[in-house]
Structure 1
Amino acid sequence: MLNNYYHATRRVGFAADSLAGDVTVDAAIIGGGITGVSAALHLAERGYSVALLEAQDIGWGASGRNGGQVLPGFGCSLHKLKHLTGAATTKQLWDMSLEAVDLLHTQIARFAIPADPVRGYLHAAIKPRQVRDLRQEQEELASLGAPVGRLLEGAELRARLNSPRYLAALEDNISGHIHPLNYTLGLAKAAQAAGAKLYAGAKVSNVEQGSTLTLQVGAHKVRAKYLLVAGGAYLNGLLEGLAGYIMPVGTYIMATEPRADVPGLIPGNEAVADLNFVLDYFRRSPDNRMLFGGRVSYSTLPPPSLGASMLRRAVRVFPQLKDAKVEFVWGGNVDITVNRAPHFGRLAPNILFTHGFSGHGVALTGLAGKLAAEAISGQAERFDVFTRIPHARFPGGRALRTPALLAATTWFRLRDML
C-alpha cells in the first residue's frame, strides 16, 4: 500500500536527533505531528528548553499523510458546536479557527516552507437535503460575522467543478490546500533552529507523574516540568486517563499520474469535499495529478484492492478519469471524538493534551500547539476555551468500542445513500 505521494515530493531537508541519554528539560512533548512541532517551536521561542519525543519519524502520522485541506471550523458543524457550548463560546472557537488558518499561512511565509499553499475551497452537495445544509451553513457563518461565500448551482457550478455528481457547492475563499508533509517538516526545522530538541525513534513507554514528570524512553529517562500529549490516533493507550475519548479511523488517498485534463476538472484549483458522512475529498496537485481521498476503515486495516477502489470513487465524481492510472495510494489513521469536536484538556496541572481533530486538523493543530505553549507559560485563557467543549468516551469499553462505532455509523452510511 504504502506509496505516499508526499514522501515522493518532499522538499524540506530535516533530520531529527536520536535520544542517546537521559535528558532534563522544561517541557516534553509526545508526538511529532503538526501539534507537537508547533508547540516545540512556540515554547522554544519563549525561551523554554524542549524535548519532543516521536516514536517513528517526524510527520510519520496523520500530519504527513492527510488530504492537505486547510479549513477553519471543526469536524462537527457550527450548529452542533453552538448546541454543545453556547453562542458566545462558539464565536470564540470560530474566531480561533480563523486564526489557525492565518497562522498556517504566516508560518509558511515566515520560514519559507515549500508547502505550495493555495486558497479556495468548495463544499459540495450531492442531494437536495445537503443543499439545504449548505444554506444553513451560510446562515451560521453570517451569524458569526464570517465571510459568507456564494452558493454555486447549474452552469456556474459546472464552470468551477466539472462533475455531473453535484447539485450545488458553497464557495469558501478562506480555506485551501497545502503539501502537509513539507509543512510539518518545515515547522520542525524551524523549531530545531529555535533550540528545541526533536527526537525520532523515541517511543515513550511510561509516564510517571509528579511535580517533575519522568518519561521512560527505551533505556533513557526524560524529566520535565510540563508535558504536552499530542500523539493523536497513535497514542496506543499510553495514558489511561485518555483512553476511550478518541477512536482511530483509517482513511485513504490516491494520486493519479499527471494528466493534461486535470486542470480543467477544477479550473480554480480549489480543494473540494462533499457533505456525506463518509465523504470524498479531492484537489489538484501542483504537477496536475488528481489527489482523491475517501473511504474509511474502522478496523484501521486498509481495504483490499485499495488503488482500484479509490479510482472507482474518483470516476464516480469525474468520469473523465476512467482511463487514469493510479501511481500513489496511501493512508493512515485520524483520531475522531464522539461529537467530532476537538478535545483539549489536562490530566494533571502540568500535563496537557490535544487530540480528536476528527479529520479537520491541518490548520487547527498548528494553533493547538501555540495554545498549549501559551498555557504552559501561564497564559491558559485561550486553551481553556477549548476545554469547555463537553466530551464523552466511546461506549463499550476497550474491547467493544470499535464494534459499537461500526454499529453507530451504519445508519449514517445508509443515510449517505438516500
Structure 2
Amino acid sequence: MSDQIRTNTHNPGHANSWYAASANDRRIRPVLEGEEVADVCVIGAGFTGISAALQLAENGFSVIVLEGERIGFGASGRNGGQIVNGYSRDLETIARRYGPDKALKLGQMSLEGGQIIRDRVAKYGIRCGLVDGGFFAAFTDKQVREMAGVKAHWEKHGHTGLEMVSKAEVGQYVKADRYVGGMIDRLGGHIHPLNLVLGEAAAVESLGGRIFENSRVTGLDMGANPVVRTAKGSVKAKYVLVCGNAYLGQLLPKITDKMMPVSSQVMATEPLDAQLIEELLPANYCVEDANYVLDYYRRTADNRLLYGGGIGYGGQDPADLTGVIRPNMLKTFPQLAGAKIDFAWSGNFALTLTRIPHMGKLSDTVYFSHGDSGHGVTTTHLLGKILGEAVAGHAGRFDVWSSLPALPFPGGKTFRVPLTLLGAWWYGLRDRLGI
C-alpha cells in the first residue's frame, strides 16, 4: 500500500492508520550496521518474509530479516484484516488455465494459509483480535448463482465450511438492504493484521532470528554465497529470500517489471455505540461484496466500523481518501451519516497479470515470492512457509508454484495502467448492469 502518509504520531514510520495507532508492539528495531552472517537473509518484513523467517527459525536456521521501513509497513499492516481462503482466482479458473493436476495441488493448499495463521496465534499467544467467520454479499441473482458454483467447486477440494445465504437470512450477518443473498465461510475470519505480523516477528526473535528496520536493501550480489547490501551494512548468507512485494522498488527489475502496484483505501469510524455496531453486523463476521471493484468491511475490537474499497492502478492515491470510501459506506449503512471518521489511509499491493502469485528463483540461492494480487493475508502465510520449506530442501510445493507462468503486462510499464483501467471499467460496467 502506498507510503503517502507517515504522520502517525502514535507509531512513527507507519501510515496514519487505526492499526498503527492500536499496535501492541511499537518497539523500533535497530538499523543494520556492519557485516553480518546468517543461513538465510530475508528481504521484507511483511507477511511473506516474516512467515518464511518463522518457518526457518522453527527449523533451526539462523535468519536475518531486512526491512526498509517498519515491520508491517506495507500491505501486511494496512489491509482490511480479512482471512479469505483461496487465491485471487478461483480453482475453476486455475484448472482451465493450468490443467486439473495443478488445480488439484493448489486446491490441496488453498485452506492452509488461514490454518497457519490460527496455529501461530495459538502457539505464540499473539493478540491480534482473531474472530472466525466471513460473509460474501451478493447484489444480484447472477452473483448468487456464481457463488453457488464456487461453493460446489470448493467442496470438491474438501472445503466444507461454506453455506449459501438467502435474502431473508442476510440480516443475520449484515443489516443492509443492498444484498439479495450471499455465502458464508465459517473458515474465514478477521484479525488486526499489524498486530499479527508484529506477533509473528516477535516469535522469530524469540527463536534467535534478528530483524533490522529502516535498512533498505541497496544491492544484491548473487552467487554461491550471496551478499545483501544496505546503506550501512551487509549480510552474507547461504540463501536470500526476496519478499518485498509492492515495496521492492527498483532493486530487481526482473521481478518488479512483471507486477504493478495497486492502491486500496481504508477508513475507520470513531468507536460506535455497542448496540449500533452489533445491530449492523450481528454475527461479527467480516464482509466483502461480489463486485469486481469490491467493498469490504468489519467490526473492530473497540466497536469501530472499518470500511475499505476503491482502487488505484499504478499505486496512485486519490486526493481525498474519505471522499472515495465514505459514500459507499453510507450506501451500505445510511444510519452512519453522522459518524465521525477517525482514520483514513491507503497503501499498495502487488498485482500480477494473471492475478496468481509469482514464485521462483533468480539463482540457485536466491528465491522470491510476490504478487498476491489483493488476496494476500492467507496466501502470503502459505507461500512464506513454502519458501522456508524450499530452503530446507523440501521443494515439491515450491516447484508447483514456480512452474506457473509469470507473464508481463501488455504494453509494459507505459501502457499497463491504462489497459488495466480499461478492463476494470468493463467489469465494473457489468457489475452495474448485473450482467
Q: TM-score, normalised by structure 2?
A: 0.93
Which residues of 2 match residues 277-316 of structure 1 at below 5 A?
Answer: 277-316=292-331
Shift of 1:86: 2.3
CA RMSD of aligned residues (A): 1.5
Aligned 8 A contact 2:224 2:364 in 1: no
Structure 2 residue matching 1:393: 3-state secondary structure: coil
For 1:109 and 1:9, the matched residues in 2 are separated by: 21
Of 295-304 and 70-79, more deviation after overlay is shown by: 295-304
Shift of 1:236: 1.3
Per the alignment, residue 23 of structure 2 pairs with 10
Structure 1 residue identity aligned to 2:21: A
Aligned 8 A contact 1:5 1:255 in 2: yes
Which of 134, 146, 168 is the matching residue for 1:121? Answer: 134
Per the alignment, residue 89 of structure 1 pairs with 102
Shift of 1:405: 2.2
Structure 1 residue identity aligned to 2:387: A
Which residues of 2 match residues 13-412 of structure 1 at below 5 A?
Answer: 14-260=27-273, 261-412=276-427
For 1:142 and 1:367, the matched residues in 2 are separated by: 20
For 1:92 and 1:124, the matched residues in 2 are separated by: 28
Aligned 8 A contact 1:274 1:280 in 2: yes
- CA displacement 1:77-130 (0-9 Å, x = unmatched): 221111122223223212222121111001011111110101101111112221
* Structure 2 residue ranges without an equivalent (≥5): 6-14
Q: TM-score, normalised by structure 1?
A: 0.96
Structure 2 residue matching 1:417: 3-state secondary structure: helix
- CA displacement 1:228-258 (0-9 Å, x = unmatched): 1100001112112213221110001111111
Aligned 8 A contact 2:172 2:283 in 1: no
Q: List 4+ stretches of structure 1 deviating above 3 A.
A: none
For 2:26 and 2:55, the matched residues in 1 are separated by: 21
Of 390-399 and 320-329, more deviation after overlay is shown by: 390-399
Which of 408, 411, 415 is the matching residue for 2:430? Answer: 415
Structure 2 residue matching 1:363: 3-state secondary structure: helix
For 1:175 and 1:224, the matched residues in 2 are separated by: 37
For 2:110 and 2:385, the matched residues in 1 are separated by: 12
% identical aligned pairs = 39
For 2:171 and 2:56, the matched residues in 1 are separated by: 47
Shift of 1:322: 1.8
Q: How many residues align?
A: 418
